[in-house]
């Protein structure tokens, strides 16, 4: 098989022909043998295209070292890699080697091309006698090709101290074709002891060494490693990859303004080094190209947004407010240039499903029925003109099936996009599916009937469950089915998973239809007594501010 290989964060050495055996993976003759396993952070793949994908690893025999360099010597090491058509690597279709060095914390990004579209592959790495675990990846189907089905899951908000990453393990066991991570992959807070024994290592992240160490700590989790190894990812960030609720070059706290550009640059660099991203996302100082578009045959187009780097500062602070300044039409959540990029993508799309992967709540969440509007300034509610332009963009472009995919708020929500959120009889223009967190917020609780109190005066809000988990979807030409998957608890390892609710979006029928009856398992935290409406409101407001 012919094709090309691009390498970032490492230097290409050689590429072996198809059929190369595992013994062709070269050792490290120019470097001393590593005494400890260098693959403690696992492997990952991402950004699938019809002819390839990115495969990633990072050498870190001592991943939590305070300097962020993972215990690697300050020299370059040769890393062999293989891609095979089978999990036993009897049919190796590509192989090669790169060198990884301390300038990128020994991270490796191999960007493959020339593979067959719409098929499964397996990959692994080697340093000397040390062999990594195996990862699974898929290429996207050929442009315009017919696709019968896509299994896609999306996740968000994994706080290491908040609990066990059991949801990642269950997601891995489902073996989806594609995983979207919609932000808050890690949290920036300092070390603090807790009863789970899962505390952050190191101080609040502000330097490159801090962010590298924190990224490494998260990747030592075996459940997260399993989710990375199970399928290719499309990853975008939210705020905690840098700092809570930052907006563009404006930090959360005014006192942190000095040096914030340098902090953001350090965070972006560590994010790239630790994610399976293409060379188009190599950071340049405090900037990094992360929004991008990925097609899946004729079935779907994924528009992956960055709603932090370019946004206007939040109006009236970060919390819930009835804020007139928020309506300024010059304000934008994704930034005006990214808005134009998104709307142009709507015009050019010929896909059956246009899926917008982004970070913060898109629809209306008004917490006070007595006020004109009391909404989150950190979500699209705080940028209503920007939201209107995006929705008008997909309406004017005749997008067949627009679906917004959202993270951030630590709870499952199903919501509809209305032409007028203040009108109960308003036309439905699209659907929004919101995933809960992997752990952030702790165990949580269930509302029993799946209704949030605010739904009484927010007609777009169809479902809510304050449990942790992820959303699994099955996308076909005729429908998109979303299963809201929940774990009973995150404060105990290995908790079982169950489907709390399922919703369907039918082709050319904007909006949501709930299917089946999925009660919470007996004996789970979901069966706790329903908390007071005041407690639910308090939790939701807290999620809007610090999620």
Q: Which parts of 185-340 are beta strand (E)?
A: 233-235, 292-296, 300-304, 320-321
Nearest to 66 by CA among 208, 189, 264: 208
Two structure tokens written together for 160:
């290491």
Q: How many domains are there within the chain?
A: 2
* Same domain? 378 vs 483: yes
Q: Which of 78, 103, 138 is the last residue of a domain?
A: 138
In this structure, the answer to whether residues 49 and 157 fall within a common structural domain is no
Please check the confidence at residue 178 and state whether its pLDDT lies above 60.
Answer: yes
Please check whether residues 499 and 397 belong to one and the same domain.
yes
- Tokens found for residue 26: 């070269």
Asked, for residue 36, whether it belongs to a domain, the answer is yes
H/E element, 273: helix 260-273
Q: Say whether pLDDT at 533 is over 60.
A: no
Structural domain that includes position 81 = 5-138
Residues 59 and 172 in one domain: no
Structure tokens at 392: 């008008």
Same domain (yes/no): 408, 507:
yes
**Position 297 in a domain:** yes
Specify whether 178 is located in the same domain as 103. no
Q: Within a domain: residue 206? A: no
Is 267 among the domain residues? no
Bridge partners, 475 (sequence order): 150, 480
**123 and 100 inside one domain:** yes
Residues 477-521: pLDDT tens digits?
999 999 999 999 999 999 999 999 999 999 999 999 999 767 665
**Residue 539's domain is classified under what CATH number?**
3.60.21.70
Separation of first and last alpha carbons in the chain: 46
Q: What is the pLDDT of residue 546?
A: 54
pLDDT, average across residues 88-117: 98
308 contacts 245 by C-beta, under 8 angstroms? no
Confidence band of 18 (pLDDT split at 50, 70, 90)? very low
pLDDT of residue 528: 44
Instruction: Indicate whether 23 pLDDT > 80.
Output: no
What pLDDT is attached to residue 19?
A: 40
Same domain, 412 and 523: yes
Q: Note whether residue 311 is domain-resident.
A: yes
Least confident range of 156-165, 295-304, 419-428? 419-428
Beta bridge partners of 78: 99
Q: What is the pLDDT of residue 29?
A: 44
What is the secondary structure of 84-123 as a DSSP string?
ESSTT-SSEEEEEEEEE-GGGTTEEEEEE-SPPTT-EEEE
- CATH code of the domain covering residue 54: 2.60.40.380
Please write down the HEC assignment for all residues of 478-501. CEEEEEEEEECCCCCCCCCEEEEE
CA 70, distance to chain mean position in Å, is: 24
Q: Read out DSSP for 423-466?
A: -TTPPEEEEEEE---SSTT-SEE--SSS--GGGGT-TTEEEEEE
Same domain, 117 and 156: no
Q: Report CA Rg, the chain.
A: 23
253 within a domain of the structure (yes/no):
no
Residue 530 has pLDDT above 60, yes or no: no
Query: Given pLDDT bands bounded at 50, 70 and 90, which one contains residue 423?
Result: confident
**pLDDT beyond 80 at 48:** yes
- Whether the pLDDT of residue 20 is over 70: the answer is no
Runs of H (alpha helix) within 133-175 = 166-174
Can you spell out the DSSP letters for 284-309?
Answer: BTTB----EEEEETTTEEEEE--SSS
Strands 428-434 and 402-406: parallel
More confident residue, 5 or 298: 298
Do 177 and 314 fall into the same domain?
yes
Average pLDDT over residues 52-77: 98
Q: Which residue has the tokens 């299994």?
A: 151
Task: Tell whether 318 and 444 lie within a shared domain.
Answer: yes
Is 6 a residue whose pLDDT tops 90? no
Can you tell me the mean pLDDT for 457-473? 97
Long-range CB contacts for residues 34-39, cutoff 8 Å, separation at least 24: 34/59, 34/61, 34/77, 34/127, 34/128, 34/130, 35/61, 36/61, 36/62, 36/71, 37/61, 37/130, 38/72, 38/77, 38/106, 38/127, 38/130, 39/125, 39/127, 39/130, 39/131, 39/132, 39/133
Q: Which of 270, 302, 458, 453 is nearest to 379 (CA)?
A: 458
pLDDT exceeds 60 at position 213? yes
Q: What is the largest CA-CA distance in the chain?
A: 73
- Per residue in 349-393, pLDDT (tens digit) is 999 999 999 999 999 999 999 888 899 999 999 999 999 999 999
Same domain, 341 and 424: yes
Residue 237 has pLDDT above 70, yes or no: yes
pLDDT on residue 370:
87
- Among 20-34, 249-263, 412-426, the range scoring the smallest mean pLDDT is 20-34
Residue 169 domain-assigned (yes or no):
yes
Asked whether residue 198 is assigned to any structural domain, the reply reads no
């Amino acid at each position: 098989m012919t094709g090309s290989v691009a390498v970032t964060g490492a230097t290409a050495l050689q590429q072996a022909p198809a059929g190369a055996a595992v013994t062709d993976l070269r050792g490290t003759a120019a470097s001393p043998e590593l005494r400890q396993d260098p693959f403690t952070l696992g492997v990952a793949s991402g950004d699938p295209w019809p002819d390839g994908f990115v495969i990633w690893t990072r050498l870190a025999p001592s991943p939590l070292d305070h300097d962020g360099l993972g215990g690697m010597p300050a020299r370059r090491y040769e890393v062999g890699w293989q891609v095979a058509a089978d999990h036993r690597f009897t049919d190796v279709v590509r192989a090669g080697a790169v060198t990884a060095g301390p300038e990128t914390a020994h991270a490796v990004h191999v960007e493959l091309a020339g593979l067959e579209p719409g098929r499964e592959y397996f990959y692994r790495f080697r340093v000397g006698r040390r062999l990594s675990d195996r990862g699974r990846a898929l290429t996207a189907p050929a442009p315009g090709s017919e696709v019968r089905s896509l299994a896609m899951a999306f996740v968000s908000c994994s706080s290491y101290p908040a609990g066990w990453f059991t949801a990642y393990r269950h997601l891995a066991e489902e073996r989806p074709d594609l995983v979207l991570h919609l932000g808050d992959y890690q949290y920036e807070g300092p070390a603090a002891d807790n009863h789970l024994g899962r505390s952050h290592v190191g101080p609040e992240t502000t330097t490159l060494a801090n962010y590298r160490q924190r990224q490494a700590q998260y990747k030592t989790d075996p459940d997260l490693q399993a989710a990375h190894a199970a399928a290719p990812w499309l990853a975008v960030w939210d705020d905690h990859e840098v700092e809570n609720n930052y907006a563009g070059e404006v930090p959360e706290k005014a006192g942190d303004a000095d040096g914030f550009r340098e902090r953001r640059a350090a965070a972006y660099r560590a994010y790239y080094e630790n994610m399976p991203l293409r060379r188009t996302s190599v950071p340049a100082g405090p900037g990094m190209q992360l929004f991008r578009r990925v097609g899946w045959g004729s079935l779907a187009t994924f528009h992956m947004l960055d709603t932090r780097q370019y946004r206007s500062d939040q109006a009236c602070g970060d919390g819930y407010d009835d804020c007139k300044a928020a309506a300024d039409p010059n304000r934008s959540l994704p930034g005006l240039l990214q808005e134009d990029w998104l709307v142009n993508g709507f015009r050019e799309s010929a896909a059956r499903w246009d899926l917008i992967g982004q970070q913060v709540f898109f629809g209306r969440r008004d917490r006070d029925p007595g006020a004109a509007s009391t909404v989150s300034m950190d979500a699209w509610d705080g940028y209503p003109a920007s939201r209107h332009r995006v929705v008008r963009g997909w309406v004017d472009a005749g997008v067949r099936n627009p679906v917004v995919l959202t993270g951030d708020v630590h709870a499952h929500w199903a919501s509809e996009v209305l032409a007028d959120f203040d009108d109960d009889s308003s036309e439905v223009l699209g659907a929004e599916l919101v995933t809960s967190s992997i752990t952030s917020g702790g165990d949580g609780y269930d509302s029993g009937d799946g209704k949030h109190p605010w739904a009484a005066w927010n007609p777009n809000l169809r479902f809510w469950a304050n449990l942790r988990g992820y959303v699994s979807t099955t996308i076909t030409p005729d429908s998109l089915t979303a299963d809201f998957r929940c774990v009973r608890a995150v404060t105990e390892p290995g908790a079982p998973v169950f489907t709390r609710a399922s919703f369907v979006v039918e082709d050319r029928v904007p909006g949501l239809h709930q299917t089946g009856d999925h009660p919470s398992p007996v004996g789970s935290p979901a069966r706790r007594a329903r908390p007071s409406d005041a407690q639910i409101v308090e939790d939701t407001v807290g999620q809007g501010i610090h999620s």
